[in-house]
Structure 1
Amino acid sequence: MLITLAGTLALVGGVSGAYYFAMRPVTLRIAVGPAGSDDLKVVQTLTQSFAHSPVRLRPLQTDGAAASAAALAEGKVDLAIIRGDLTVPKNAQAVATLRKNVAVLWVPPAARAEKGKKSAPKITRIQQLAGKRIGVVGRTDANVNLLKVILRQYGVDAGKIEIAQFPASEAAEAIRNQKADAYLAAGPVNSKITTDAINASTREGASPSFLAIDAAAAISQNFPAYEAAEIPAGAFGGSPARPEDEVKTIGFSHHFVARKGLSEATVAAFTRQLFSVRQALLTEFPLAAKIETPDTDKDAVIPAHPGAAAYVDGEEKSFLDRYSDYIWFALMGVSLLGSVGAWFASYLRKDERSSNSSARDRLLDMLMAARQTELAEELDRMQAEADTILRDTLTGFEHGAIDQGSLTAFNIALEQFHNAVADRKMLLSNLPQHLQRTGLQLRSTGGL
């Protein structure tokens, strides 16, 4: 009983411990950057929203998406926001798409030519960018690589153009000062940085012209991280609308990614929390409306984390689903432990069982002796010994060393012994006194 109780308590404690371990709050480190970016602001807001949730966040600010990807690759963080057209770490698995971005390539209105000079030819096609100076908004090398991918598709040698990069905070001023012949920006369609840069290109009421990337589908075939996209008419406001018509371009995404090997249950819980607070973020961050579930196809550019895929497919596992096998094995283990404990307890009581067997044999011997003795005093001595044997036998039964069957057999033997003693005493009491004395003398001299 004690072993069974101990096993049951151990099982209950184990299940309770497993439940606490599975349901305890988990804090995940997430790499995001650069400082002041919308991505960082979104993560900081998520951190506050998740303060009392099962999965919590601890932001690690980086210099940008490339640095965030490196932090994930080195195992310094559990989550990261990375740019899909950069080198994706081998241990990265997609959790959600934070936002989709488009490449915007435009040419400012031509300045009025001085008297006697011809105006420079208007740039209307990407091929005409050869030999020109192109300004890239943002300090990240990823935007420069994006420009080179576009130029390569149209046969423009990147070595024959001049590329100038402007920080996002300085881009509008550089454009107003006519620092380049054309400009490239990459970001969400409603990006304020891109909109301000395009508005800065306006001259004397004339709007910039946008260069269409008609070969977007071909680019996406060669570079799966990119996809064909469109810039809707009037996306950047203004009058007339900028652009006046829909413009074809290429796009890429920023992703929430998780470290491969991170608990499936933890990632599923984070994904569920992320989409549950998405609507609450819309007022402060309209970009939150663009958060999408990851691509769960096996041929996805960034494979989906099993936890995120389970959430998307509605196949999240409950506590019992995840730990039912462990609970079953625990029950089997407790049963086995009980059997082993019972065997061990039986082994420890073998001496008691052997003693009981000897006591029963002794009782049978006294039964035979009681029927032959000629002395009442001898019967009293055997009766006292039988009482001692009875006490020891009952103690052994309480300790479990004697089973019910053995106790029944002992009771029969004891009853027969008592009957023999009673019969013998009655017989001796009915004998004449001289015969009792004769029997005593013969016994003392060894005649009996």
Structure 2
Amino acid sequence: MQNKFLFPIALLSVVLIGSFGWNLHQDKQRVYELTIATGNKTGIYYPFAQAIAEVVIQENPRLRIKVVETQGSKENMRLLQANKAQLAIVQNDTEAVPEGRLIASLFKEAFHLIVSEQSGIQSVSDFKGKHIALMDKGSGSYSAFWLVSQHYGLKASDFKSTPGSWAEGTKLFASGEADAIFRVLPPGSDLVSDLLQNTRAKLVPIDQAAAMKIKLPYLQANLIPKGTYKGAPAVPDVDLPTVGVEATLLVRQDVHPEIVKEITQILFERRRNLVAANRLATMISQPSGSGSFAIPIHEGAQAYYDREKPDFFAANSNVIGLSFSFVTLFVSWLLQLRARFLQTQKNRADKFNLIILNLIQRSRQAGTFEEIDRLQEELFEIFKQVMEDLDQDRIDADSFHSFTFSWETALKIASDREKSLRNLSLVCDDLKSDFTEVKKMEK
């Protein structure tokens, strides 16, 4: 009968173990495919994402990242929100979406305002009546320009603007149709360098970054160092003040933490491979919070950043040790207090036991019924007092039980002594009666 039940149970156990092992094997062999939203192929985000995708698959063939071309940061955020992309490179001045989480700060970008020498433009305020080439609508550069123009009090009707790709913008600029180009690029960008060297162009400062930061805290004061784009003669010829933002790598919050941790680890621990593919990778850093989105770091990335942090007990060893010392002293004090209290209870109980022993001795020596009655009254009075002490915790339960044994013994001895006195009294009465009878007979 038992074998009938044991066989199905054993078979079920084998099936469950096999299923678990198969699932574990499948999970280890599973390929994770992610999509990263970038920017225009002629920009800097697309090739940077390609470098990340190449190095990630080299280090972990189970992680495959598909790089898609987009119009820029705003579109990338929309794709991230719609789950059409799980990763995105965006500027930190882009409006965030709830699904987005930070992985890393990738590199710094500076606002580049490039103007033709004959345009007469010396600052942003000189744009009135001019023609400026912008990046495509939806890009970070496009949005950044309007932040700058609004700060300087300019309206869209004050000048002509034409959005488009870098190639379209430079064509307008080179032909003289556009007086200026605005782009957000890392200092030292080859695109800017080629434009400055092949056209009669110059860089114009944007010198109110600190003021802009008051309303837009994600913006940063930045400099394009003297000689960044040419050493002799230096271009620019002085350290050029401008405004800066950060290019950041975002991920959807629902991407598995282990996958995000693996990608973060590759970004930082395979930096050399990334730099070989794209030199901007030298600037990858942990988000500091000072210039990043007001959104949290993904838990997978945070797990990597916290890898060398001591655990709670190690980090708080001094506090824990001090607290333990105080607790030990407090417990020791409580134990001593309790010992004193118990000793006080015992001493009080011993006092009553000594009184009982004295009453027992007196009971044995009692010669009259009146003495016995007084002793019994004392016994009941003592019992009443002990009951009150027990109720007030002046003696404990064990001492009370010990007392009741002594008390009952004393009460019994008093009772026995009373019986003995009664028997003795009867004997005496009989003897007296007999003596009287004898005397009568003699007469």
- When normalised by structure 2's length, the TM-score is 0.59
Alignment correspondent of 1:220: 213
Could you tell me the percent identity over the aligned residues? 23
SS in 1 for 2:276: coil
Residue 62 of structure 2 is aligned to residue 64 of structure 1: no
Equivalent residue letter for 1:228: A
Structure having the larger proportion of residues in helix: 2
Residue 35 of structure 2 is aligned to residue 30 of structure 1: yes
Distance in 1 (alpha carbons) for counterparts of 2:124 and 2:52: 41
Question: Would you say the 8 A contact 1:172–1:200 is kept in 2?
Answer: no
Instruction: Give how far 1:21 is off.
Output: 6.4
Match of 2:171 among 166, 170, 173: 173
With 255-264 and 290-299 compared, the bigger mean Cα shift is at 290-299
Instruction: Give how far 1:279 is off.
Output: 0.9
Question: Would you say the 8 A contact 2:33–2:64 is kept in 1?
Answer: yes
Instruction: Give how far 1:178 is off.
Output: 1.8
Residue 265 of structure 2 is aligned to residue 272 of structure 1: yes
Question: Would you say the 8 A contact 1:105–1:185 is kept in 2?
Answer: yes
Question: Would you say the 8 A contact 2:50–2:67 is kept in 1?
Answer: no
Distance in 2 (alpha carbons) for counterparts of 1:159 and 1:90: 34
Instruction: Give how far 1:304 is off.
Output: 1.0
Equivalent residue letter for 2:101: Q
Equivalent residue letter for 2:34: R
Distance in 1 (alpha carbons) for counterparts of 2:235 and 2:292: 37
Equivalent residue letter for 2:242: T
Distance in 2 (alpha carbons) for counterparts of 1:43 and 1:269: 16
Alignment correspondent of 2:87: 79
Distance 1:22 1:223, change over 3 A: farther
Alignment correspondent of 1:196: 194
Residue 223 of structure 2 is aligned to residue 230 of structure 1: yes
Distance in 1 (alpha carbons) for counterparts of 2:50 and 2:142: 28
Question: Would you say the 8 A contact 1:31–1:59 is kept in 2?
Answer: yes
1:346-386 CA-partner distances (Å, limit 9, x unpaired): xxxxxxxxxxxxxxxxxxxxxxxxxxxxxxxxxxxxxxxxx
Equivalent residue letter for 2:264: T
Distance 1:173 1:200, change over 3 A: farther
SS in 1 for 2:118: coil
Instruction: Give how far 1:76 is off.
Output: 2.2
Instruction: Give how far 1:91 is off.
Output: 0.2
Alignment correspondent of 1:104: 112
Match of 2:306 among 294, 310, 313: 313
Distance in 2 (alpha carbons) for counterparts of 1:136 and 1:299: 24
Distance in 2 (alpha carbons) for counterparts of 1:91 and 1:126: 36
Question: Would you say the 8 A contact 2:71–2:136 is kept in 1?
Answer: no
Alignment correspondent of 1:263: 256
1:19-46 CA-partner distances (Å, limit 9, x unpaired): 5466444413123333344433333343
Distance 1:316 1:292, change over 3 A: same
Matches within 5 A, 1:37-436: 37-51=43-57, 53=60, 55-65=62-72, 66-110=74-118, 122-137=120-135, 141-202=139-200, 208=202, 210-237=203-230, 239-295=232-288, 300-314=293-307
Q: How many residues align?
A: 302
Question: Would you say the 8 A contact 2:213–2:220 is kept in 1?
Answer: yes
Q: List structure 1 runs of 4+ shifted beyond 4 angstroms.
A: 1-26, 137-141, 296-300
RMSD, aligned α-carbons: 3.3
Equivalent residue letter for 1:215: Q
1:374-406 CA-partner distances (Å, limit 9, x unpaired): xxxxxxxxxxxxxxxxxxxxxxxxxxxxxxxxx
Distance in 1 (alpha carbons) for counterparts of 2:19 and 2:248: 38
Instruction: Give how far 1:177 is off.
Output: 2.0
Alignment correspondent of 2:380: none
Instruction: Give how far 1:166 is off.
Output: 4.6
